[in-house]
């Protein structure tokens, strides 16, 4: 009996220490995410031409990107990466993807509705938004600090992660596989 206890106690201690270290690392990582800048409230239109107000999604973790549907190369890659993120975080009801067009003249709500069919598995988690180009430019360049020279062709390729309170917690290069893995990890930490 004493011999069994001597074997069990060290094993138990190792298991407890492992849980403590793992829990601390998980907790410490969440604390490492900086609180950068608040996402201001904005109003755009979704694919059904209904008003979407950013503040209406408070309480959810938001992932934002800028794109346009006629973009031949970069935008499909970024939205493809976001689809991977969506699949990795499938079933998370407190997560919302917001893809905002930088070409609202062509990307009307009807056009975005057609485009969004490529992402229908993620339809509950993903909104494609269009609206006044002035609002989009201000949001992208002034508010989120995603500088851009000439829209739509030269829009920024970074993805923005915002927490449940609308605070930007990270920027991720939308074309970089490692950055996408980091986005998945960081979004999980916020969920």
Query: What CATH number is given to the structural domain containing 130?
Result: 3.40.30.10
Q: Is the predicted pLDDT of residue 6 greater than 70, yes or no?
A: no
The total number of structural domains that make up the chain: 2
Domain match, 28 and 112 both: no
Any domain includes 143? yes
Q: Output the CA torsion sign for 173, 177, 179, 180.
A: positive
- Residues 94 and 164: their CA atoms lie apart, in Å, by 8
Domain match, 82 and 139 both: yes
Mind listing the pLDDT tens digit for each residue in 76-126? Answer: 899 999 999 999 999 899 999 999 999 999 999 999 999 999 877 766 789
* Residue 14: predicted pLDDT: 47
Domain match, 28 and 56 both: no
* Domain carrying residue 129: 43-190
Mind listing the pLDDT tens digit for each residue in 120-166? Answer: 776 678 999 999 999 999 999 999 988 765 555 567 899 999 999 99
- Residues 170 and 108: their CA atoms lie apart, in Å, by 29
Any domain includes 150? yes
Q: What count of other Cβ atoms lies within 10 Å of the Cβ of residue 37?
A: 14
pTM over 0.85: no
Which residues, at least 6 apart from 101, have a Cβ–Cβ distance to it below 8 Å? Answer: 66, 67, 68, 69, 107, 112, 128, 129, 130, 136, 152
Domain match, 177 and 141 both: yes
Average the pLDDT over 37-58 and give the result.
96
Mean pLDDT of the chain, nearest integer: 85
Percent of the chain whose predicted confidence (pLDDT) is above 70: 79
Domain match, 22 and 50 both: no
Any domain includes 92? yes
Domain match, 9 and 73 both: no
* Residue 136: predicted pLDDT: 94
Domain match, 56 and 90 both: yes
Any domain includes 113? yes
Any domain includes 38? no
């Amino acid at each position: 009996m004493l011999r069994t206890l001597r074997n069990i106690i060290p094993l138990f201690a190792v298991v407890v220490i492992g849980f403590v270290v793992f829990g601390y690392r998980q907790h410490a990582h969440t604390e490492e995410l900086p609180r950068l800048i608040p996402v201001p409230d904005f109003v755009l239109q979704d694919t059904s031409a209904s008003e979407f107000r950013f503040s209406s999604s408070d309480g959810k973790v938001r992932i934002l990107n800028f794109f346009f549907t006629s973009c031949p190369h970069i935008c499909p890659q970024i939205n493809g990466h976001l689809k991977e993120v969506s699949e990795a975080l499938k079933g998370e009801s407190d997560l919302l993807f917001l893809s905002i067009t930088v070409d609202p003249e062509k990307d009307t709500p009807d056009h975005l509705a057609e485009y969004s069919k490529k992402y229908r598995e993620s339809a509950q988690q993903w909104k494609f938004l269009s609206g006044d180009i002035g609002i989009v430019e201000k949001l992208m360049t002034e508010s989120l600090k995603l500088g851009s020279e000439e829209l739509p062709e030269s829009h920024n390729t970074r993805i923005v992660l915002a927490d449940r309170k609308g605070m930007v917690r990270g920027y991720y290069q939308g074309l970089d596989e490692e950055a996408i893995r980091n986005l998945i990890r960081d979004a999980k930490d916020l969920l």
